[in-house]
Amino acid sequence: MTSFATDTFRSEQRKFPRVRKAYEEKGNLVQKILSDNLIQVENLRVYLRAFKYNKELELWAKNADDERFKLIKTYKICRTSGKLGPKRKQGDRQIPEGFYFIDRFNPSSNFYLSLGLNYPNQSDKMLGTKNNLGGDIFIHGSCVTIGCIPITDELIKELYIFCVEAKSNGQKRIPVTIYPAKLTNDNFQKLKNKYKDDSDKINLWEDLKKSYDNFNETKKLPKVEFLNNGRHKIN
């Protein structure tokens, strides 16, 4: 793995046995996936999209100076909890839905390795149960969950490296968008029909639908602004 450059964050992460093992076992595979997609590790930028109903976590990547992301890997979410819809309080077993980013790397997780999300975001704080929102939502190893996104120990080794490398090479924030399902026009209409009396879900899904369509068309990250009413402005 000599082609991986050295910096403080990567070096600090590799002090932990599980991270070193991940690089030993999956480092060459990560390099091959990037090379096959003409992406240089030293210029790596990544974006994650999760689909609860489909149980899929997509890894998109590009070079820092590329305009568009490429889908380079789809991971199976091995277990989910709760129902479709956002997380609104602690203990509801819900996997959140909305616009997040990775704010923690845990190399000594109870679930092997884990990537923490910044739940609750601004929208969650406005629309959820005040002072009882819960937290500690992660993408992690193992195959158990009460609101997190597990992809097994073997796969988190690989994804963890991608994220460490992106952060190490200058990506300040790794965005993660969590959808109820793939929001094709047909799926979106079915969700609207099924949950027509639940304005909380419908409002969020309308915002997510704009993001879904925008990214699918352009392969560029849309600009997401959090509004004072808990909704989002998608540009």
Q: Residue 114 corresponds to which amino acid?
A: S
Nearest-angstrom CA–CA distance, 128 and 151: 27
Where in the sequence numbering do the catalytic residues fall?
140, 148
120 preceded by cis ω (within 30°)?
A: yes
DSSP codes, 4-68: S---HHHHHHTTSHHHHHHHHHHHHHHHHHHHHTT--GGGEEEEEEEETTTTEEEEEEEETT-SS
Nearest-angstrom CA–CA distance, 86 and 93: 10
Find all residues with CB under 8 Å of 217, minimum gap 6, and list them: none
Within 13 Å of residue 158, how many CA atoms lie on the same side as its CB?
20
Nearest-angstrom CA–CA distance, 111 and 145: 10
Instruction: List the alpha helices (DSSP H) in the chain.
Output: 8-13, 17-36, 122-127, 153-168, 185-194, 199-218
53, 85 in Cβ contact below 8 A?
no
